[in-house]
């Protein structure tokens, strides 16, 4: 009798083990992800095992005015936003790699679009007080940068046409980057200066640093300001944007990287499409 009971218990235990194995196989894509790590990544919103969120020492580009180097561009492109983390991180200990004494002429160097029509190279502005723009002269933007999609979902604004060199600090600058006193509007509908940016990154975070530049200009300081949309590989939507600035007197100096993320949404950076994911949280 005892032998039969033990045999029956062993059969039940074996059945339970088989059922658990089958269930785990379904969760882990029929055994193709035996550790279940991909399932856990999808659940938590963390799609990279080695999440890092900072760039320490940086080198300046091989240009007379310095700025973001190719090597540091690649490092930024490989950064992954950590769900629940801050929306931006410091680069080079928050010190610009721009050369402050390279300010010579009031102008903007707009880089050409790359082979995928992306604004993947730095735009660099040499600014002064007269570049603070009148906001009332803004017009509706119609350029559709790579990765652009319909702007709202359930009343929530998801995408912005993000300016690299902000409209608010580009008064008088034409699309060739030269100053023209007859043009009091800031930069508008310039394909070389726009990228698909999350509404959160643009309106909540980037404006903080643009305000620092405006404040310095209103104090009659000369400022070199550089903005670079950061793309990974051939993706059409930027992973983030590097903003850095330095005034010629050194009182303004920052270097940061903004993640191109939106609370409650998950982006496919290959094509820019967004889907609702309430687990995505961003700390301002």
> Could you say which of 47, 50, 93, 163 is catalytic?
163
Contacts of 46 (CB under 8 A, 6+ apart): 80, 82, 83
163 is known as an active-site residue: yes
Distance CA 124, CA 231 (A): 18
Question: Tokens 């999609």, residue?
Answer: 149
Reported as type and span, the H/E element at residue 18 is helix 2-27
The strand pairing partners of 88, in sequence order, are: 258
DSSP-based three-state secondary structure for 193:
helix
Distance CA 119, CA 111 (A): 8
CA 127 to chain centre: 23
Question: Tokens 């005015």, residue?
Answer: 65
Q: Which two tokens stand for residue 260?
A: 């191109």
Q: Which two tokens stand for residue 216?
A: 């310095």
Distance CA 117, CA 112 (A): 9
101 HSE (CA, 13 A, CB side) = 0
Is residue 201 within 8 A of residue 261, CB to CB? The reply is: yes
Active site residues: 163
């Amino acid at each position: 009798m005892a032998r039969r009971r033990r045999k029956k218990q062993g059969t039940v235990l074996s059945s339970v083990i088989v059922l658990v194995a089958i269930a785990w196989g379904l969760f882990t894509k029929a055994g193709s992800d035996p550790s279940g790590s991909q399932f856990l990544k999808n659940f938590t919103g963390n799609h990279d095992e080695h999440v890092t969120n900072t760039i320490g020492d940086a080198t300046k580009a091989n240009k007379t005015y310095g700025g973001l180097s190719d090597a540091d561009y690649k490092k930024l492109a490989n950064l992954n936003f950590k769900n629940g983390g801050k929306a931006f991180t410091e680069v080079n200990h928050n010190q610009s790699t721009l050369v402050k004494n390279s300010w010579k002429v009031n102008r903007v160097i707009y880089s050409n679009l790359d082979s995928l029509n992306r604004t993947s190279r730095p735009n660099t502005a040499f600014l002064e007080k007269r570049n603070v723009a009148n906001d009332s002269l803004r017009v509706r933007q119609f350029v559709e940068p790579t990765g652009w999609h319909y702007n709202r979902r359930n009343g929530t604004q998801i995408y912005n046409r993000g300016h690299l060199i902000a409209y608010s600090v580009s008064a008088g600058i034409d699309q060739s980057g030269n100053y023209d006193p007859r043009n009091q509007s800031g930069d508008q509908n310039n394909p070389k200066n726009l990228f698909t940016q999350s509404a959160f990154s643009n309106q909540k975070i980037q404006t903080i640093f643009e305000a620092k530049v405006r404040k310095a200009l209103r104090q009659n300081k000369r400022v070199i300001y550089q903005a670079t949309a950061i793309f990974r590989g051939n993706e059409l939507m930027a992973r983030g944007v590097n903003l850095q600035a330095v005034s010629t007197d050194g009182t303004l100096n920052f270097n940061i990287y903004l993640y191109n993320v939106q609370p409650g949404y998950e982006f496919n950076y290959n094509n820019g499409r967004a889907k609702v994911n309430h687990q995505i949280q961003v700390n301002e």
